[in-house]
Amino acid sequence: MRHEVIFVPSNDGKLATWASDIFDRGVRNINMASSCAVIDCTPVCFLFACDYRCSIEVCAIKFCLAANWASIPLVIARQPLLRRSVPFSPKYLVSLFRGGSMQSESMLRVKLKSSFQAQLGIISQPIFRLPVTMRPIFIIQQRIIDARGKIKQVTQLKADDGVPISLLARNFKRLTGVTLKSFIDKIRLCHSLGDLLLTSKLIKCIALEFGYRPTSFSLRFHNAFQIWPSQVRSMSDLLIRQKSPR
């Protein structure tokens, strides 16, 4: 019997409550503080929070956990990157990191899109509640996340409401504290870490897929995670034990 359960880190009560409302499913927390987590039922999907800190100890454990359940969708929830909180801003920018079956993936994509639209006020909230300069910032962040960071040039990002990309880039840096290019790079490296742990792709292929030369990819990856891509592939000691469903 399939258990309708979403797994989230046990220290994130807000995400658990939000997930229960959005997905209309029961939520079970797992302890991500330890290097080992025992799962005794079959989840509908994994839902992990990302705080942009890019810690190899935390991120690798999450991806290794998901690696043991290759057919289960993996969803990543990121809080919008902002220098300060903004009233009526989205709680999370959520993306499907890895799909499962075609049916479950389609269902999740619909729910995630509806969630983002509702949070931005496209469905349920008046648009005027969000400051005029903020709405494009959330939309651009979501687009970069949905594209897995595969944006070759910042100019590829379509600005909404006729806002020039140069002005959008300046507002992005002013309101988030990072440049558009840096944010794109952060999302790319997050997904490349996932590919290193969840797939058997060659490191060279992963680098090229995300727009890096292999040598520059290794350096960028090391700067972000303090570990080389080749070392990640040998992290068998971080694999999570899994108990067969009862």
Rounded CA separation 199/246 (Å): 27
Chain segment 12-68, per-residue pLDDT in tens = 667 777 777 766 666 777 665 554 555 666 677 788 888 888 888 778 877 877 777
Instruction: Give the count of beta carbons closer than 10 Å to the beta carbon of residue 39.
Output: 20
Q: What is the pTM of this model?
A: 0.79
Range picked from 12-16, 33-37, 138-142, 214-218 for highest mean pLDDT = 214-218
Distance from chain centroid for Cα 127: 25
Mean pLDDT on 166-180? 91
Q: Do 39 and 75 touch, CB atoms closer than 8 A?
A: no
Give the model's pLDDT for residue 149.
92
Structural domains of the chain ordered from first start: 5-238 (1.10.10.60)
Helix, strand or coil for residue 161? helix
Q: Compute φ and ψ for 30, nearest 5 degrees.
A: -130, 150
Question: Model confidence over 191-211: pLDDT tens digits?
Answer: 999 899 888 899 999 999 999
Q: Is pLDDT at 225 greater than 70 in this prediction?
A: yes
Q: What's the confidence (pLDDT) of residue 206?
A: 95
